[in-house]
Structure 1
């Protein structure tokens, strides 16, 4: 299992605009979250690193959505080559995990490129002005470690943003599977 780290974009970078469908075709736009802090998570169904944190991430989302944080997940994997990441399977995954946030399909992979997403999971937290406040790991846990999944890193950053503060700039990259780019297309 090879590890791919997330790209550590400059803090303060503006959030790329996006408009993507969910697995049932309902479009969701970044404009719907204007003025609201937002987590954008690049995830998929089959990656062991995503599976490792998926239930805790679903719990994080439920807890923080109640506090005013918006959450969106995006699957940018080439689902034609990786059928476990197809929209139909995404719908099953969202139901099974109890996702309370939109889980969107980035079939063109343009949104992943705009965010410079590199791996699954890859987490981006934007403040209310949609400036990048945090990018990196959910926490220090990994499938091969005995460390419990807590979401500590993302929780600490979200707590700061919700309190109107700037998260600590010392942030650790996420680690996971590389995004499954379409043949001939790489980030």
Structure 2
């Protein structure tokens, strides 16, 4: 199991636009602008097979359900090479989203350009943008990792989202996420 950290895109970066197919719908493509939340937006890079994603996905869905009603948009993206990693193919993304009860889009980045634009390195990799589409948080969900015995809380991401919602200062000292590397072509 690879242990790749986030690249930590500079804070203040404007959210890169994209236009990607939603694997939860056969014909729908979305841009960042289509999906952004009124108060802020979480963009997360995940995939179907990574043990780090499997470890956190229940908490991620819980966070999305808690905060979507408060004006935070959630966008999941998979950028993995599906030729060499067929378990991450779009039709299996649809199954993964259904099994995990996603109430947010799960987009397929076939060209991997969006992952490059966000400087994504691992799955899961989390980015939080404010209502002006400026990056205010990037990094880990919390300190829990597969096998380390620390319970999931989502505390780092939740704290940053609360900062966006309640106009609080978000600590710029942020810990990188850690997970499987993005499977580049």
Question: Which residue matches 2:101?
Answer: 98
CA distance in 2, matches of 1:14, 1:165: 19
Question: Which residue matches 1:29?
Answer: 31
* Gap regions ≥5 residues in structure 1: 183-187
Offset, 1:25: 3.6
Question: Which residue matches 2:4?
Answer: 4
Question: Which residue matches 2:167?
Answer: 164
1:51 equivalent to 2:47? Answer no
1:47-105 C-alpha deviation (Å, 9 max, x unpaired) = 00000001110111011101110000000001121111111110011111000110000
Mapping for residues 68-87 of structure 1, pairs under 5 Å: 68-87=71-90
1:128-174 C-alpha deviation (Å, 9 max, x unpaired) = 00000000000100002111111110000000011122311110000
Tell me the C-alpha RMSD between the 2 structures.
1.1
CA distance in 2, matches of 1:81, 1:139: 30
Q: After the TM superposition, which segments of 4 or more aligned residues of structure 1 sit over 3 Å from their partners? A: none
Residue aligned with 1:61, SS:
helix
Aligned length: 182
Q: Are the equivalent residues in 2 in contact too, given 1:7–1:118 (CA < 8 A)?
A: yes
1:178 equivalent to 2:181? Answer yes
CA distance in 1, matches of 2:167, 2:83: 42
CA distance in 1, matches of 2:153, 2:129: 20
- What TM-score, normalized to structure 1? 0.94
Residue aligned with 2:58, SS:
helix
Residue aligned with 1:11, SS:
coil
* Gap regions ≥5 residues in structure 2: none
